[in-house]
Amino acid sequence: MNSVKDLLDQHAAVIDVRTPAEYMGGHVAGSINVPLSTIRDRIADIKEMNQPIILCCASGGRSGQATAFLKQEGVVCENGGGWMQLNGLVNS
């Protein structure tokens, strides 16, 4: 199991699963907004990224759901928790 820090070192993509309105209020620089409600529809796009994924949201709940789903689909990913906390890791 990779840690979030390990995945960041591997140039993981950051996917923010909050709503577009929440995302516009602030997000991890370079992250991609894929709302949780659209994850199932975007699975092919996510797999095509061909890199590890770190998911985040406001507190870690929604990103936890997305992480569990993507892992079942064979995607290498981890729950990064709340975006503000993850932003601190990305910028450290």
- Which is catalytic among the residues 7, 15, 36, 57? 57
Give SS3 for 53. Answer: strand
Cα 65 from Cα 61, distance rounded (Å): 7
Residue 56 falls in the annotated catalytic set: no
Does the CA dihedral 10-8-6-43 come out positive or negative?
negative
Give SS3 for 6. Answer: helix
* Catalytic machinery residues: 57
